[in-house]
A and B are shown apart, each in its own frame.
Chain A
Amino acid sequence: MDLLDIARWQFGITTVYHFLMVPLTIGLAVLVAGMQTAWYRTGKLRYLKMTKFWGKLLLINFAMGVVTGIVQEFQFGMAWSAYSRFVGDVFGAPLAMEGLLAFFVESTFLGLWIFGWDRLSKGVHLACVWAFSLASVLSAYFILAANSWMQHPVGVEVVDGRPRLSSIWAVLTNNTVLAAFPHTIFGCFAVAGSFLIGIAAWQIARHHRRSGADDEDRRAWHGSMRLGAWVAVVAFAGLAISGDVQGKLMFEQQPMKMASAEALCHSEAPASFSVFAIGDVARSNCEDVKSFTVPYVLSYLANGDFHSEVEGVHALVPQYQEAYGTHYPDDPRLGRLAGQPIDYVPNLPVTYWGFRFMIGFGALAALGAVAVLWLTRRQRFPEGRWWAPLAVLAIGLPFAGNIAGWVFTEMGRQPFVVVPNPDPSGIDGVWMFTAQAVSAGATPGELLTSVITLTALYGVLAVVEVFLMVRYVRGGFEAVMPPEQPEDSESGGALSFAY
């Protein structure tokens, strides 16, 4: 493996890992804020228990999201310094905005929320959890604006061969981010919804199946489960709508990505949507692949018209070659790629299956959520023993869908790190090959060291996080509702919450 491969693996591993924590944090934070609001307004103990229980799991997860986020910011400079120099004028601005306008709020108000249970008035304390959760949503917006610029550069002019920011407004209202943001946020809620369903189902099955409907805890678990199911169903509807908008944009902005998402070799009119395929989709002659298709659907997905033409990989390659060259420059910093022909087709199996797994896992989770809504109507709970374990397993579905979606998005834009956009809304003439983006100053040994140590540490921490989560889930409400402590008149009371 050379520097480029290692750097790409590192980016993939650290990003995917980071993005396991982030959606759960964002979705769960808003839901916990909602639970605390319910407690604030009604004063019912079960809402307090829900707030504390789900809040504790949120904290366990948040810690990991934060610490893995620093790696994300640093590695642009560490492993991708040529990229940083090229796009710094544009890309750094949303990153700095995320820090100043969102991340400071997030971290400060989380501290206030954790330690403020007995120090702040109820209203102010509630405001803290809302500030924290809304800032984490805002944080996602800035990061997605930065990422969307790489998918669809806007708001810049080219000076001395480098993009120079000419309108920050254009970057922040890029149609790509306006589509990607709701899609990602709905993805976060799908994760949080399934998380609530799985854990609450397990609790009811384990402890509360036989207790009556008046049991307060059982009602809290049941309520959590229904809340999770509603959230997941609404989130999936949002995912479908925003995904369709995003897809149409991408057919326009990155036709190669979408053609490879379909493993569509030859242009078709009308084009059929491939549901799944048997055989090696990477073979570009397409003859050996048995694809199970639905006619007209791809035309609709691409253009909103059931009969329109969709361009295939073979038709697109010459267009890309004409616009962006046939060979990499003969620069020794490109390593083994220097002077080599440019392969404009992304990894087909990854894009093809990434796209299908994203939709498939998401749809499966949504079906499960609909089933939960039906099965738990009017305080009911299904009798079967298989039920709760299945709900626990289903927690993984939207996670897998999210990951597949990101892998598809990022791998689908290869060989570019900044994708050129020939369409009228984008700026043609700004692009960068991934091979040109990597740090020339760092050595493969340094990058390999970091891939190995980070992956090992992430592996250990994943075990620790799951271990702690399981412990707190088993502990249920009792583990998060501390027993009354004797009042210490001298000190004015102990901290009700402390490390």
Chain B
Amino acid sequence: MDLPTTWFCLIALLWLGYLFLEGFDFGVGMLLPVLGRRDVERRVLINTIGPVWDGNEVWLIVAGGAMFASFPGWYASLFSTAYLPLLVLLLALIGRGVAFEYRGKVDSDRWRRGWDRVIVTASWISPLVVGLVLSATVFGLPLDERGDRVGGWWTIFSVPTVVGALAVCGFALLHGAVFLALKTEGEVRERARRFALRMGVPLLLPLVALLLIAQFTEGSEWTWVPLAIALVAALAGLARLHRWREGQAFALQGVALAGAVVTLFGALWPNVIPSTLDPAWSLTVADTASSPYTLTVITWVAAFGTPAVLVYQGWTYWVFRKRIGTHHIPQVHAPS
């Protein structure tokens, strides 16, 4: 495999890491009012992701930075074309990050309710935008021969991209519920499990639709394999959850997501963004890749950096592996 293709796979891997990790913390945010009836329960929910959400979000920053370094043309065209959706994503991520940190800093119900609203809204908006933008890169954008958008900001909306938005959002919801069933105890765990079992299939429908659209419009024969793996793993995950095996269910969600990402990026290759105006103007892996030297440099960086990241982030999850219940939550202690 040549360097540009390797980096295409690595970019897919970074997006997979991002969707897997921040997927569940988006889900936790979305489920805050659904599964957390009392404030102490909402704090249980937030504390399941407390130590890790920030590290999860860095996967987005690294995915963006790595696209910039390895495929500047891809990064430039996608980000400038999806200007407004990405602005909305930025606003949501700003609000969300601040809300986690600031929510408990003042002991007042009004204060907490306000930040809860920010967390919930932002956690819904973010996966929708991520899904929209990622599926736009798969299904194409109206790009001219220089890679600039022709037409207004709304051109990013099409049936496949809207399905893509719903797919990531639905997956995040389910993923968050399974994560909570794995990470909490008592009533919250019960509720999360029931929610995942009851809503699992409907929540996965948009993702299945997205994969089928991608397969039939852009897919190759081999992409049927990851697609099938995604479907089987998703259903198997729900079955394991039914048997109270939350850890296995969570891992199978990951396998399903991996299958989905491979299907989508497999359908995209050898393009990085198809042009919907003229196939000749499509941005390709070969055309947008950085020079071999740059790719070699960042390959070395990734070869040393990525395993280290996996080790210490994995260790974080190990340190905070215990389930959290309401009795773990200390009383509020903030300056009056």
Contacts and interface: CB of A to CB of B under 8 A. Distances in A.
Interface of A: 59-60, 62-64, 66-71, 73-74, 76-79, 81-82, 84-85, 87-93, 95-101, 103-105, 107-112, 114-116, 119-120, 159, 164-166, 168, 439-443, 446-447, 449-450, 453-454, 457, 461, 464, 468, 471-472, 474-475, 478-479, 482-483, 485, 488, 490-491, 494-499
SS class, residues of chain A in contact with chain B:
helix
Contact of B60 (A59, A70, A168): A70
16 contacts: A73-B64, A76-B79, A92-B72, A101-B305, A104-B58, A104-B309, A119-B320, A164-B293, A453-B87, A457-B94, A457-B95, A478-B335, A479-B333, A494-B327, A498-B104, A499-B50
Q: Chain A CB within 10 Å — which of B52, B69, B97, B293 has the most?
A: B69
Interface stretch (B147-155, B220-228, B246-254): B147-155
B183 interface: no
Given A98-B65, A450-B87, A93 B298 contact: yes
Interface of B: 43, 46-47, 50-55, 57-58, 60-62, 64-73, 75-81, 83-84, 86-87, 90-91, 93-95, 97-98, 100-106, 146-149, 152-153, 290-291, 293-294, 297-298, 301-302, 305-306, 309, 312-313, 316, 319-320, 324-325, 327-331, 333-336
A92 B65 contact: yes
Contact of A89 (B55, B290, B302): B290
B98 A67 contact: yes
A59 B68 contact: no
A156 to B, nearest CB: 10
Contact of B97 (A66, A77, A115): A66
B320 A471 contact: no
A100 B294 contact: no
Given A92-B72, A96-B69, A449-B87, A107 B62 contact: no
Given A73-B61, A78-B80, A96-B69, A166 B328 contact: no
Given A79-B80, A165-B291, A104 B50 contact: no
A496 to B, nearest CB: 7
B101 A461 contact: no
A89 B293 CA distance: 9
B312 A105 contact: yes
A352 B95 CA distance: 37
A97 B76 contact: no
A127 to B, nearest CB: 11
Give the 8 A-B residue pairs with the shortest CB-CB distance, closest first. Answer: A88-B72, A77-B79, A475-B335, A92-B69, A479-B335, A92-B68, A100-B305, A63-B101
Contacts of B335: 471-472, 474-475, 478-479
A81 B94 contact: no
A461 B79 CA distance: 25
Contacts of B293: 164-166
Given A96-B66, A439-B83, A101 B301 contact: yes
B64 A74 contact: yes
B90 A71 contact: yes
B55 to A, nearest CB: 4
A87 B65 CA distance: 13
B34 to A, nearest CB: 19
Contacts of B80: 77-79, 81, 439-442
B334 A479 contact: yes
A69 to B, nearest CB: 8
Contacts of A112: 51, 316, 319
A67 B66 CA distance: 19
A442 B155 CA distance: 12
A76 B331 contact: no
A184 to B, nearest CB: 20
A96 B54 contact: no
Contacts of A159: 291
Contacts of B104: 498-499
B328 A443 contact: no
Given A77-B76, A85-B72, A471-B335, A103 B149 contact: no
Contact of A70 (B43, B70, B93, B312): B93
B330 A84 contact: no
B52 to A, nearest CB: 6
B38 to A, nearest CB: 15
Given A92-B65, A468-B106, A66 B330 contact: no
Contact of A499 (B97, B103, B306): B103
Contacts of B327: 488, 490-491, 494
Nearest to A474: B335
B55 A111 contact: yes
A494 B330 contact: yes
A115 B320 contact: yes
A159 B84 CA distance: 33
Contacts of A111: 50-55, 316
Nearest to B101: A63
B325 to A, nearest CB: 7
Given A77-B68, A88-B69, A95-B69, A107 B77 contact: no
A68 B330 CA distance: 30
Nearest to B185: A491
> Counting chain A CB atoms within 10 Å of each CB, which of B71, B90, B95, B331 scores highest?
B90
Contacts of B51: 111-112, 114-116
A110 B106 CA distance: 21
